Amino acid sequence: MDKALTTTTFELHGYQVVKQLGLIRGIVVRSRSVFGTIGGMLHTLVGGNITLFTELCERTREEAFEMMISHAEELGANAVIGVRYDATELMGGVTEVLCYGTAVVVSPRK
């Protein structure tokens, strides 16, 4: 699937939805390592962007996105509309990241 055909909107400019395949999702549950937690805590002492956590969040969201794309492809979709992210802390240091949207088949507008 061309990732340019994923969007947070409910339409793709220049394309029309010809078939809606349903809700799809990618879910990742991630915990911080002891070393990452200590490193992040030390970084809070000096302030600024805590890059250890930023990188962890970015990798986790990317993994959830890729899982969502795989789910869409399994259904035969060539696009995903209405893409959203959600995160829930399940317990201290353990977070679920969910990426979801609607799998669709689109074709170029004439």
pLDDT, tens digit, 9 for 90 and up, residues 9-41: 999 999 999 999 999 999 999 876 544 555 555
pLDDT the model gives residue 30: 82
- The whole-angstrom separation of Cα 39 and Cα 53 is 9
* Tens-place pLDDT, residues 50-99: 677 778 889 999 999 999 999 999 999 999 999 999 998 888 778 899 99
- CA dist 24 to 37, 102, 110, Å? 32, 6, 28
Please report, for residues 21, 58, 60, 68, the alpha-carbon distance to residue 64 in angstroms, rounded to integers and kept in the order given. Answer: 19, 10, 6, 6
pLDDT higher than 60, residue 43: no
Which strands make up the sheet holding 15-31, listed edge to edge?
15-31, 94-108, 79-91
Fold for the domain defined by 3-108: Translation Initiation Factor IF3 (3.30.110)
User: Residue 90: its pLDDT value, please?
Assistant: 83
| Amino acid (one-letter) located at 70 | S
* CA 33 to each of CA 8, 30, 38, 56, 92: distance values in angstroms, whole numbers, following the listed order: 32, 10, 9, 10, 12
CA angle, 38 then 44 then 48, to 5°: 130
Domain boundaries, the chain: 3-108
